[in-house]
């Protein structure tokens, strides 16, 4: 990774990491806010009917909701206003969410029972700010900045996967009030789950059945079928294919696959990271061009689990 990493501690003990595109950048600004230490009560409960772990984090009801631009907590700090980012400017920043669903610091939950077991909501939730420009968009960023973001997501995937108790790392971006965003500043999030997310678990079970009955990777088979058909392919670059799935669940849905069987973003080589950027820009520009307006969307990176069934997974967006 070419970006320079600088770690600092925010006023309430959370970690913030600057990723600077200029190696000579120095980060000396201090978070001078008088913030209380973050107290998080998070737990996970297993739904006996669906067989899925569900996160309970009621403190998130108090998170910031659609503030005006002049009060945005993701913009750089100014002499008259301190934000989550102490510096007066930045390239890409990652920090622990002030209102996390999962955390490394939480009290044990009340005892569950055999029907609905409970566990501490141990994990990590991070915010990824793509740019200091409040009015920008992910797809509108420069090629160089998007390449930095890909490196950052890969770096965070690698580091979070090494945390004790983490079973899956899940980067995503939501855009648009229609989707439910609470902050308009261009940003994404990363969840380090203490379990494998339900959708991933279902896909892995299908992949296991495919491997046992036919052999090989189910995701690779899906990609090969789409490439042969060609009718739903919307874009390609070296080592990547974007296509509308044959059984699309939404009116507007595109999947982006690497042609190489890879578990996660950290496994991408430099050439694959370079080639991903123009394809992402192309797909997002097509979405925005549909109605000549910014398209609300959910962009989610499905990565293989950290431990069990890792060989069954195949990175895709």
Q: What is the pLDDT of residue 256?
A: 99
Q: How many CA atoms lie within 13 A of 225 on its CB side?
A: 10
Instruction: With respect to residue 297, please indicate whether it lies within any of the assigned structural domains.
Output: no
Instruction: Tell me how far the alpha carbon of residue 285 is from its chain's centroid.
Output: 20
Look up the domain containing 23 and give its range: 4-196
Ordered alpha helix ranges (H), 75-197: 143-161
Distance CA 3, CA 148 (A): 7
Residue 24 and residue 86 in one domain: yes
Residue 220 and residue 130 in one domain: no
Domain limit, last residue, from 180, 196, 212: 196
Per-residue pLDDT of 58-96, as tens digits, reads 766 666 667 888 999 999 999 999 999 999 999 999 999
Residue 13 and residue 35 in one domain: yes
Distance CA 6, CA 21 (A): 12
Instruction: With respect to residue 312, please indicate whether it lies within any of the assigned structural domains.
Output: no
Residue 56 and residue 166 in one domain: yes
Distance CA 270, CA 265 (A): 11
Residue 163 and residue 263 in one domain: no
Q: Is 47 exposed, middle or buried (0-12, 13-18, 19+ CB in 10 A)?
A: exposed
Q: How many helices (H) and strands (E) does the chain have?
A: 4, 13
Residue 142 and residue 222 in one domain: no
Nearest to 118 by CA among 109, 105, 127: 109
Distance CA 75, CA 309 (A): 40
Residue 180 and residue 99 in one domain: yes
Distance CA 168, CA 300 (A): 13
251 — alpha (psi -120 to 50), left (phi > 0) or beta?
alpha
Which residues are annotated as catalytic? 187
Q: What is the pLDDT of residue 62?
A: 60
Element (H, E) at 158: helix 143-161
Is residue 235 a contact partner of residue 244, using CB atoms and an 8 Å limit?
no
Is residue 27 a contact partner of residue 40, using CB atoms and an 8 Å limit?
no
Instruction: With respect to residue 209, please indicate whether it lies within any of the assigned structural domains.
Output: yes
Instruction: With respect to residue 150, please indicate whether it lies within any of the assigned structural domains.
Output: yes
Residue 162 and residue 218 in one domain: no
Instruction: With respect to residue 313, please indicate whether it lies within any of the assigned structural domains.
Output: no
Nearest to 147 by CA among 275, 51, 36, 56: 275
Q: What is the pLDDT of residue 59?
A: 65
Domain total of the chain:
2
Q: Could you tell me the CATH number of the domain that includes residue 101? A: 3.30.428.10
Domain limit, last residue, from 135, 168, 196: 196
pTM: 0.95
Local structure of residue 265 (DSSP, 8 states): G
Instruction: With respect to residue 37, please indicate whether it lies within any of the assigned structural domains.
Output: yes
Instruction: With respect to residue 95, please indicate whether it lies within any of the assigned structural domains.
Output: yes
Residue 52 and residue 136 in one domain: yes
**pLDDT by position in tens, the chain (length 317):** 889 999 999 999 999 999 999 876 778 889 999 988 766 788 999 999 999 999 988 766 666 667 888 999 999 999 999 999 999 999 999 999 998 999 887 767 677 788 999 988 899 999 999 999 999 999 999 999 999 999 999 999 999 999 999 999 999 999 999 998 989 999 999 999 999 999 999 999 999 999 999 999 999 999 999 999 999 999 999 999 999 999 999 999 999 999 999 999 999 999 999 999 999 999 999 999 999 889 999 999 999 999 999 999 999 99
Residue 188 and residue 248 in one domain: no
Distance CA 26, CA 5 (A): 10
Nearest to 243 by CA among 265, 227, 228, 259: 227
Residue 189 and residue 211 in one domain: no
Residue 21 and residue 164 in one domain: yes
Q: What is the pLDDT of residue 42?
A: 87
């Amino acid at each position: 990774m070419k970006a320079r990493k600088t770690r600092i501690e925010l006023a309430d003990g959370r970690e913030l990491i600057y990723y600077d595109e200029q190696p000579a950048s120095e980060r000396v600004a201090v978070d001078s806010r008088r913030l209380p230490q973050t107290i998080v009560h998070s737990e996970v409960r297993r739904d006996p009917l669906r067989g899925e772990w569900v996160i309970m984090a009621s403190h998130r009801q108090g998170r910031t909701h659609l503030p005006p631009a002049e009060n945005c907590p993701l913009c750089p700090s100014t002499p008259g206003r301190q934000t989550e980012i102490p510096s007066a400017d930045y390239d890409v920043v990652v920090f622990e969410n002030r209102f996390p669903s999962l955390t490394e610091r939480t009290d044990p939950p009340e005892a569950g029972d055999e029907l609905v077991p409970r566990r501490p909501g141990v994990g990590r939730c991070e915010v990824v700010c793509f740019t200091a420009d409040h009015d920008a968009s992910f797809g509108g960023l420069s090629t160089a900045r998007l390449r930095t973001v890909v490196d950052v997501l890969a770096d965070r995937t690698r580091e979070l996967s090494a945390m004790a108790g983490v079973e899956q790392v899940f980067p995503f971006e939501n855009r648009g009030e229609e989707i439910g965003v609470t902050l308009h500043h261009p940003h994404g999030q990363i969840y380090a789950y203490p379990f494998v997310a339900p959708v991933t678990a279902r896909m892995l079970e299908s992949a296991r059945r495919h491997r046992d009955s036919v052999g090989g990777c189910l995701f690779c088979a899906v990609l090969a079928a789409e490439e042969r058909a060609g009718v739903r392919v919307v874009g390609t670059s070296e080592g990547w294919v974007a296509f509308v799935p044959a059984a699309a669940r939404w009116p507007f849905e595109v999947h982006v696959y690497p042609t190489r069987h890879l578990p996660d973003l950290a496994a991408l080589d430099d050439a694959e990271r370079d080639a991903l950027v123009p394809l992402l820009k192309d797909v997002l520009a097509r979405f925005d061009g549909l109605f000549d307006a910014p398209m609300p969307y959910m962009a989610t990176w499905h990565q293989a689990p950290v431990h069990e069934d890792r060989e069954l997974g195949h990175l895709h967006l």
